[in-house]
A and B are shown apart, each in its own frame.
Chain A
Amino acid sequence: MILLQLAADGLLLGAVYALFSSGLTLIWGMMNVVNFAHGDFVMLAMYIAFFSFTLLKLEPIVFVPLAAVLLFALGGLVYYALVRHVMRGPMLAQILSTFGLALFLRYTALWAFSANFVSLPSGLVGGVYDLGGLRLAASHLIAGFSALLLTLGLHLLLTRTDLGSRMLAVSEDRVAAELVGVRPDPMQALAWGLGAAATGVAGALIALFFYVSPEVGNSFLLLAFVTVCLGGFGSVPGALLAGVAIGVIESFSAYWLGPATKDAVVLALFILLLWVRPQGLFGRA
């Protein structure tokens, strides 16, 4: 029973990991730009959730979509104001620019919100469900299932619609895409917007059961990197499976080896995997 409980907890958490990692994989895989500010996008979304509730008395059903919309706008803005210009430059310029953005967001948050840990009241989405001995918190269930649905939705958007096909075309061959009539800039801005929006939803969902602080993005950034490498760059289904796998591994190792070791276990397994399969589980060689 305890194993089943651990697996269920891991799965639900993993779905949320998958969602914010698919945001990163979309941007990374599509444009070859590593967004070091990704963790700080999660942080911003968590603060949006927190202040929506404490200041505006908004319910999760309102503030989760709100976080998506605001982060979508932020993603598009970051593309047009920053990324579009540094993409023409050397790799180092791209890395430093998103790294700089990360620092900017983090220290602005520190200045505006102070370094204190805050959190939403734990009963915000109430209760714990008991499914034949399996105890699942409503907040985890909601977070896990919304994340799962959105990740699948993102995947379908990319693979089943003309819009998704155009976005992927720009990522595969920008020149050929332009030749058939695709304007690259709006497609890439859209990729940034969608990637950030996915991250926004994930952040707002995580805020339901996780503390918020200006530094909180750090751990999520590392986790997202591992998930994306594991799943293969640019692969949303890869991010989904990798995210869930990491959630489950963390859940089990926290139980058997103690909560402090869960990151170490994930990273150790990650290194082992890269040894045998450097392109990730679903990546193309």
Chain B
Amino acid sequence: MRLHHTLPVVGAMTFASLSASAETITVATVNNNDMVIMQSLTDAFEKAHPDITLDWVVLEENVLRQRMTTDIATNGGQFDVMTIGTYEVPIWAERDWLVPLNDLPEEYRVDDLLTSVRDGLSQDGTLHALPFYGESSMMYYRKDLFEQAGIEVPKQPTWEEVRDWAGQLHKPGEETYGICLRGKPGWGENMALVSTMVNTFGGRWFDMEWNPQLDSKAWQEAVSFYVDLLNEYGPPGASSNGFNENLALFSRGNCAMWVDATSAAGKLYSADESQVADKLGFAPAPIAETPKGSHWLWSWALAIPASSDSKAAAKEFITWATSQEYVELVGEQKGWTSVPPGTRESTYANENYQQAAPFADFVLEAMKSADPTDSTLKPSPYTGVQFVGIPEFQSIGTQVGQMVAAALTGERTVEQALQAAQRSTERTVQRAGYLD
């Protein structure tokens, strides 16, 4: 065999052995805008890390949660990186299901992560997941409608004021509704908002002895207020509206006000996606009795399950996807309103971001002031603003969410709904051994 014949063969073999040695990691993530961008930047990661190949499993949030819980609880080892929320991290970390992340490289700059977010993803002071993006809640409103009606929004609106404004601006004949709020039942749907309302009305899910407080005066007031507000000044069929439906309604110009996630701001400010981009006003989430727990705190984070066979490669990936360099890469390639918000101080210090996102400082303030460890007026035994950080909360929250939705549709009175919610929550915590 002559040399010039052997060279391509050797070259091909070397290439084949190189690509064969590349480690493939499977990343499970949700189908939210920011994650879709992360997936689209696969090439950038693989170019910088030629020895790692990414395989994606992108699923809808609830399906993904069920899929990942099954896998991690059975030590299935199907995923190397999982996208989980502030709710799951402490619960899973306690069971040693996640790889602790205590030896991160210096250039990762752990101190740059927002303290509230970092605390939410830590167990006994050790990070168990790295934040990909974070959100709080706030109030969006239509500046043009407010100006026409001569309403000035104060620095910190109250729910009472919101009700008055909704009454003035509610014009169902013109398909403009006073207020849009989540009504779709679910712990991450209507209960995210209702829990913040209960907090600010002075209520809590449990007292210090884990007795459910759903039949208390504060719950009664908050839920009655929510039901009346949405029934009188909300869009028709509000009980089936979640984040997406309200985003569609608000961006089409059908809502005068909307209280929901800060992560909607980027989409509402984008003229391609929103018809109200030039008329958008924002304010902190409304308060009632107390400012405590009036706005939620959530972050989507990347974690490595203990069952992964490729922990080192997975760590390479999650430190890349949550780094300052990644934020800059997204800003340059996809536009600065598309960068994942709510994770790093440096994002908010970035001039490009501040210019593109006029809501930046505002969101940062909301994120910093939300305190999951102190979100209720009276003391409570749990952490979490819009959720209770115990494994049983998924079922409790969803059941109570269904009762609240039943009150919203008029199927039950608020009192009946809350009594039923109290009974079912009592049963659940009793069975789980929280009550003596």
Q: Do A and B come from one complex?
A: no
Which residues of B line the A interface, CB within 8 A? none
